[in-house]
Structure 1
Amino acid sequence: MVIHAYPGRVTKRLTARVAIGLALAVTVLSGCSSEGASTDCGLDACTVTFDRGVEANASVLGVDAKLVGVDGDKVTVEVAGEQLTLTVGQQGTDVSGLNVTLESVNDDQVVVKIAR
């Protein structure tokens, strides 16, 4: 039989580790920024809604994403320094270990999903 001389210390260490883990998760999830765009991120994917008519960009999942242009149903975005031309319904395009998909495009916004 093992008797712990300081059982309170074990509980405090475990609580501290859980708190650190939660703080790290919050940092990862909030590690995005944008201008002229809004982001909705989870652990492995972000949906970026770019406003049209402004210089729209976002930083998500460790890469920069920028709306370059829209021509009808074709959208050009720059992700991790690479320009991609996407259409709605097209299979995702891989860039820098991420999969980029055009979710929707209208007169006001362009919605792109970037996933690991």
Structure 2
Amino acid sequence: MVVPAFASVSYPWRVTNFPPNPLRRTAGLLAGLALGAALLAGCSSEGASTDCGLDACTVTFDRGVEASATILGVETRLVGAEGDQVTVEVAGEQLSLTIGQQAAEVAGFSVTLDGVTDQQVKIRVARNPGS
């Protein structure tokens, strides 16, 4: 087999994919795990479940129990619910919410009522931009 002379020419603009550096891969994995652990450590709940992102959380409170959750550095608590009106406490302030109502503002957060059933109350707490 004859190999043409130009076959051994190196092209400087050609991108070569080198195998990933194991140290870099491990460092990236550890950084991701640390971030995930930090996010999870910032949430705790009793009688409630949380689903959090970086700047917002959805809290689902169980009705009929002392339900509370600490999210995004603030405590939220279900005070009461009657019909489609719910009273919650967020960052020490009580808010009355109804479905479809504009978000209530408290302590740099906006709070909305996402749903009410006989079993649960679901609210969304989001950081206000610039807060």
TM-score scaled by length of structure 2: 0.73
Compute the displacement of 1:97 (Å): 1.0
Q: Distance in 1 between matches of 2:98 and 2:31?
A: 38
Partner of 1:87: 98
- Identical-residue share of aligned pairs (%): 58
Segments of 5+ residues of structure 2 without an aligned counterpart are 1-20
List structure 1 runs of 4+ shifted beyond 6 angstroms.
Answer: none
Compute the displacement of 1:44 (Å): 1.3
Work out which structure has the larger RCO, using CA pairs closer than 8 Å and 6 or more positions apart in sequence: 1
Larger Rg: 2
Cα distance per residue 1:73-92 (max 9 Å; x no partner): 11000001010000001111
Segments of 5+ residues of structure 1 without an aligned counterpart are 1-9
The answer to whether 1:105 aligns with 2:126 is no
Q: Distance in 2 between matches of 1:90 and 1:47?
A: 16
Q: Which amino acid in the other structure matches residue 26 of structure 1?
A: G
Judged with a 3 Å threshold, the aligned counterparts in structure 2 of structure 1 residues 21 and 78 are, in CA distance, closer, same or farther, namely same
RMSD: 1.7
Cα distance per residue 1:3-30 (max 9 Å; x no partner): xxxxxxx974x55653453133212321
How many residues are paired up?
106
Matches within 5 A, 1:1-116: 12=23, 14-15=24-25, 18-30=28-40, 31-116=42-127
- Structure 1 or 2: more strand by fraction: 1
TM-score scaled by length of structure 1: 0.82
Q: Distance in 2 between matches of 1:36 and 1:11?
A: 43
Question: Residue 54 of structure 2 aligns to a residue in which SS?
Answer: coil
